[in-house]
Amino acid sequence: MVEPARISLITAPTPLHRLPRVSEDLGIDLWIKRDDLTGFALGGNKGRKLEFLLADAQQKGAEVVVTCGSAQSNFIRQLAVGCAMLGIKCAVVAMQLPYEGEPPTPEIMAKALKSKGGNLTIDRIVGAEIEVVPNGTWDELFERQQELVQRYKDDGFNVYSIPVGGSTTLGAYAFYRASLELWRQAEPFDFVVSASSSGSTQTGLQYGYHKTPTRYIGVACDPEPELIHEFVTLAGSLDELLEEQKGLTAKDFRFDLRFVGDGYGIPSEQGNRAIEYLARREGIFLDPIYSGKAFAGLLQMAKNGEIDGRVCFWHTGGTPTLFV
């Protein structure tokens, strides 16, 4: 295969170390992969994807990069910083709380992250154009993104459009490479656990660990079981890119929906307790939308005996949302 173009954004390999106190508490050998320490734009796993996505945008002569997501999106924050570094305009359509199906109740909305502070502060410091629109469904948000793309095209700009969360073949490829990074750092783990949302993180890691001794579990942060079909599509595109024939199916993905709570973008009680627990036991901070829920899932799975032996928790970052 021809290696996709890449620019250097993150510091890699990211640290991997043991969590001695939590290991003792749970009776497992627990380690943590610190993608909260990627060293780019306040850290987080999205920098891995952007090394390839922004290189592709540059190669294609992009003048404007357009994407969409929640107002407190970690991907948008890192994309906005990367675009600023490369002199490319970043234009975004954002909602406080995109949702699937019925609108959330006022009680649920009161728990959701707000459309101010946190990641939005960083977006604006680096000059991203953020259009915050009324809350609505994911489909409505995607339609708004396409409208924004068309506006810039009509004005004569060369536009590079990125789907929510950077979940593309290149995004999944970045995490396939990340799985190899972990292989080089340590003996194989029995389990790797991380947060999972739009799909490229879980797809890339699952692709890397397919038919190996390591079992990968994605803890869902979106209450949408049908997302797994998008993972399969992404895995198929990785087969093409890597000239492989793994042929992953829905049965190859463990997408655990038990720890979502009230929905996407809404902190959960379990997740918040997990944040406090890890901070007090190991001095490491998680975020309330992704890694907090994922770590809550890991804690419960360990207590239930669903995971054991050597376990790696993949910390995907998200620190700015602690301050919303």
Q: Name residue 317's amino acid.
A: G
Count Cβ atoms below 10 Å from residue 87 Cβ, excluding itself: 8
The Cα 102–Cα 269 span in angstroms is 22
> Is the backbone peptide bond immediately before 104 cis, with ω within 30 degrees of 0?
no
Distances in whole angstroms, Cα of residue 140 to Cα of each of 35, 106, 235: 31, 20, 26
Give the number of C-alpha atoms closer than 13 A to the C-alpha of residue 68, restricted to the C-beta side.
23
Complete DSSP assignment for 203-220 = HHHHHHHTTSSPEEEEEE
Are the beta carbons of 272 and 238 closer than 8 angstroms? no
Cβ atoms 178, 207 nearer than 8 A = no
Expressed in angstroms, the distance from the first to the final Cα of the chain is: 43
3 state DSSP class of 29: strand
The answer to whether 237 is a known catalytic residue is no
Classify residue 105 as exposed, middle or buried by CB count within 10 Å of its CB (0-12, 13-18, 19+). Answer: exposed
> Which listed residue (8, 23, 70, 73) is catalytic?
73
Query: Which sequence positions are flagged as catalytic?
Result: 73
